[in-house]
């Protein structure tokens, strides 16, 4: 029997989303993963640049070039790309994105509208905008998902052990026989219609 999503859900322990402020045990001893290098930070571009664009020190947007002055400032984008193109992608689409995140500070007309910093998380075509507490919830859920993903990988390895490829000769014969059955049935239906 193929495992349904509801069966898999049983393996996920109920989540306690109360923020504890503690580093989850699963992270103990693991080095922090560096965010891939992007362009120069505003700090590296210098004080004049930061003052001109109201930049945060870690902003990597090119306000004088392609990124313009959108009214917000963003750090480097960390991303998980898909190991293969999506199943419904078109040829040449390349690899899809599973998840990406970057810190964003909106500080346009701050005196009137204030300053708001959030983690912008891209998932498929949607964006989540998370504060620190909500980011903790996402981290917690991803950490609980990874052991389940590993378990599913083990289940897949077992399930795919007996897989075998199609037999082109048998497949061609099967398709030809099906064509023949469709032709025969169509002729029967047309004949029945004509005799009415």
Residue 130: its H or E element: strand 126-130
CA-CA distance, 29 to 39, in Å (whole number)? 30
CA-CA distance, 11 to 144, in Å (whole number)? 10
CB of 8 to Zn ion, least distance (A): 42
Give the x-and-dash track for 62-101 against Zn ion (CB under 5 A).
-----------x----------------------------
Site for Zn ion in 119-148 (CB under 5 A): none
Of 72 and 101, which has the nearer Cβ to Zn ion?
72
Cβ atoms of 121 and 100 closer than 8 Å:
yes
C-beta atoms surrounding 103 within 10 Å:
19
CA-CA distance, 131 to 181, in Å (whole number)? 61
Q: Which residue has the tokens 């000769």?
A: 169
Stretch that binds Zn ion, among 6-14, 60-68, 86-94, 122-130 (CB under 5 A): 60-68
CB of 27 to Zn ion, least distance (A): 30
CB of 78 to Zn ion, least distance (A): 18
Cβ atoms of 12 and 148 closer than 8 Å:
yes
Of 55 and 103, which has the nearer Cβ to Zn ion?
55
Total of chain residues touching Zn ion, rule CB under 5 A: 4
| Candidate list 59, 101, 103, 121; residue touching Zn ion; CB under 5 A | 59
Site for Zn ion in 36-55 (CB under 5 A): 55
CA-CA distance, 100 to 116, in Å (whole number)? 20
Rg (CA), the chain: 27
Does position 60 interact with Zn ion (CB under 5 A)? The reply is no
| Candidate list 41, 45, 58, 61; residue touching Zn ion; CB under 5 A | 61
Beta bridge partners of 127: 122
CB of 67 to Zn ion, least distance (A): 8
Task: Tell me which residues touch Zn ion (CB under 5 A).
Answer: 55, 59, 61, 73
């Amino acid at each position: 029997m193929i495992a349904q999503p509801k069966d898999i859900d049983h393996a996920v322990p109920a989540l306690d989303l109360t923020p504890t402020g503690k580093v989850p045990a699963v992270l103990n001893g693991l080095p922090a993963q560096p965010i891939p290098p992007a362009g120069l930070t505003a700090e590296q571009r210098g004080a004049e640049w930061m003052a001109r664009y109201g930049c945060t020190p870690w902003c990597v947007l090119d306000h004088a070039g392609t990124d313009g002055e959108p009214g917000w400032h963003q750090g480097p984008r960390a991303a998980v790309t898909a190991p293969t193109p999506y199943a419904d992608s078109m040829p040449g689409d390349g690899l899809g994105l599973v998840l990406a995140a970057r810190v964003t500070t909106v500080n346009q007309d701050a005196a009137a509208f204030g300053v708001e910093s959030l983690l912008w998380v891209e998932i498929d075509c949607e964006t989540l905008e998370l504060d620190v507490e909500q980011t903790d919830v996402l981290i917690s859920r991803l950490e609980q998902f990874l052991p389940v993903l590993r378990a599913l990988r083990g289940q897949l390895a077992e399930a795919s052990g007996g897989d075998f490829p199609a037999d082109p000769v048998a497949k061609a014969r099967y398709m030809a026989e099906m064509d023949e059955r469709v032709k025969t049935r169509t002729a029967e239906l047309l004949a029945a219609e004509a005799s009415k």
